[in-house]
Structure 1
Amino acid sequence: MTDKAQIFLIAPPVTDAAAALDLLGPVCATGDVAAILLSFASTDEREQIRQLKIIAPELQKSGAAVLVAATSSVAARGGADGVHVSVRNSTRDLQEPAAVVNEFVDALKPERIVGVGGLRNRHEAMTIGEGDVDYLLFGEPYPDGELPDFDATLERVSWWAEIFAVPCVGFVPDLDSVADIAATGAEFVGLGDAVWTNADGPVAAIAKARAIIDKTPLASEANAQENDAR
């Protein structure tokens, strides 16, 4: 649990490095993006590495940690700060997700971040959380772009943030839901289409999200104040 959440941003899939920088650069330049997760339209690792080498240094200048939904080799050779492993999207060892995650941990830690999402239940979250991972992400979009039920995501984030030491990210479907995750004490609020489809633009969306987080009291603090007032 933390005092105020930071912003964890999921970028649209990268198709062209220059175009990606045009979109992502101004958003990260705000200084309000703690981490940004990249994925790639190309399945060719050499192309992914080439694009990452162009994108990562520019975003890192703004203080954002650059994570990739890619192999450990792409992350290391492309200069990313770490990888994001989706248990749900993995095509290997679905019955033993911890084994898949541990391969990334062994390959990249401690030099790089290893985060995990696509967690299907509490047991899976606890099992993965017992390993040497840096964060868990709850509520991320499915491969088809659909989102899990937000009430279920909020419940899972609230449970995790209250009990466990491993940082967590709670993904929100829209800016109106930012306060709900911020109040849980989660270390990160996850944003995606809520930023990229915002009518006022991505930079304005980040500013609004940051303002909401900053003014939202933790639920534990609000409850304590309510009890004191009785």
Structure 2
Amino acid sequence: MNEATPPNRCRIVLIAPSGVPAARIVAAFDGGDVASLILPENGMDEASFQAFAEQIVQADGIHVEVSKAELAETIEHFQAKMMVGTGGAKTRDDALELGETRPDYIFFGRFGYDNKPEPHPRNLSLGAWWADMIQIPCIVMAGSDIASVEAVGATGAEFVALSSAVFADGTDPRTAVATANALLDETAPRFED
């Protein structure tokens, strides 16, 4: 998203929480490598959401948490034009079922539930299993502490999602992203080419 040659390790995906000003989101990009941004609608009507999103970045994908059939329909309709990612899997079977539709990524975690310092153990377990077994990239939700990127990176997941660790009140988004990148540079396993 903001670097010509991405690092060959787990990368950051930002998830904008409800109410965060566009300027704070844009400031986070100055902290170094950010692979992607997920902008949940957070209850906004379509026109308001579109106006908010356009202040930050041009959309090149959609994230949906729906049934396998609805996901397959969404992929068929949109994947030729943009990325289609999914989430909502709570078990390996759920994840495999969603994976059968071949989304561009699968997300383990829930938006807005990164309220503990560490990542949820289930998300770490699913991410490690998925990264080891499946070729479709995964994103694992980190905790509210920026250091939680280390636990996610150790799973082998391609991406770590950060929200409150970057956008909480009193946190400088640029510094938080820079710190997360430094931790991943130090500790995350390197991917094979």
Same fold (TM over 0.5): yes
- CA–CA distance in structure 1, aligned partners of residues 54 and 173 of structure 2: 23
Describe how 1:24-35 pairs up with structure 2 within 5 A: 24-35=25-36
* Corresponding position of 1:48: 49
Are positions 1:81 and 2:86 aligned together? no
Query: Which one of 135, 160, 165 corresponds to residue 135 of structure 2?
Result: 165
Identity %: 32
Q: 1:178 to 1:42 in 2, by over 3 A?
A: closer
- CA–CA distance in structure 2, aligned partners of residues 44 and 156 of structure 1: 33
Query: Which one of 107, 121, 135 corresponds to residue 105 of structure 2?
Result: 135
* Corresponding position of 1:13: 18
Give the paired residue count.
184
**Larger RCO (CA under 8 A, 6+ residues apart):** 2
The Cα shift of 1:153 comes to 1.3
Runs of 4+ in 1 over 4 A off after TM superposition: 144-149
- Encode CA deviations 1:175-202: one digit per residue, 9 max, x unaligned: 2221111112111011110111275511
* Corresponding position of 2:158: 187
Richer in helix (by share): 1
Q: 1:39 to 1:200 in 2, by over 3 A?
A: closer
Could you state the TM-score of these two structures normalised by the residue count of structure 2? Answer: 0.83
Runs of 5+ in structure 1 lacking a partner? Answer: 58-79, 88-96, 221-230
CA contact (8 A) 1:135 1:168 kept: yes
Are positions 1:206 and 2:185 aligned together? no
Q: Which has the larger radius of gyration?
A: 1
Query: Which one of 123, 127, 152 corresponds to residue 153 of structure 1?
Result: 123
Runs of 5+ in structure 2 lacking a partner? Answer: 1-6
CA contact (8 A) 1:113 1:134 kept: yes
Could you state the TM-score of these two structures normalised by the residue count of structure 1? Answer: 0.71
The Cα shift of 1:127 comes to 1.1
